[in-house]
Amino acid sequence: MLTFTSPFMCLGVNPEKLLISPIQEMIVQMPTTWDETIVLPQSKIGELAVFTRKKGKTWYPSVLNGEHEKTLNINFSFLKSGTYHATVMCDNENSSENIKVINKNYDKTNAITVRVPSGGGFVVKFIK
């Protein structure tokens, strides 16, 4: 949802599954408008969308992958100086049905390497 630019957002998922999902909090707190959108260099039309969006001082990098599994290294140079608390949500390597949540601190000198399965993705919420 973070990567799409439509003013109407909807999820093709059973609402009951959403209520017990670890992404529920992220969806509830997600802004409906953005102050800034950056398409990151790893993006390839028709294959991979890598965006970061900002609302206030909070950044939301996200990835949507196409057909082939990829391992991506995303640097955080778009962040301003200082330390950010990050909530990383990505596909669980053991199951395409599950989401793995990682909480960690980062700054603009850091990067993350993540495996993105076919049709998968990930999102990070950076709070200063």
Q: Give 30-50 pLDDT, tens digit per residue.
A: 888 899 999 999 999 999 999
Residue 2 covered by a domain: no
* pLDDT above 70 (res 108): yes
pLDDT tens profile 73-103: 999 999 999 999 999 888 777 665 678 888 9
Residue 89 lies in a domain: yes
> How many folded domains does the chain comprise?
1
Q: Is residue 8 part of a domain?
A: no
- Torsion angle of alpha carbons 29, 7, 2, 12, nearest 10°? 90
User: Amino acid letter at 119?
Assistant: G
Residue range(s) defining the domain that contains residue 98: 15-127
Is 73 inside any structural domain? yes
In the chain, % of residues over pLDDT 70: 87
Answer whether residue 64 is part of any domain. yes
Residue 4 lies in a domain: no
Is 5 a member of any domain? Answer: no
pLDDT at 15: 76
What mean pLDDT, rounded, does the chain reach? Answer: 85
With a cut of 70, say whether residue 70 has pLDDT above it: yes
Amino acid at 121: G
Does residue 40 belong to any structural domain of this protein?
A: yes
Q: What is the CATH number of the domain that holds 72?
A: 2.60.40.1180
DSSP summary character for residue 35: S
Q: What is the mean pLDDT of residues 54-61?
A: 94
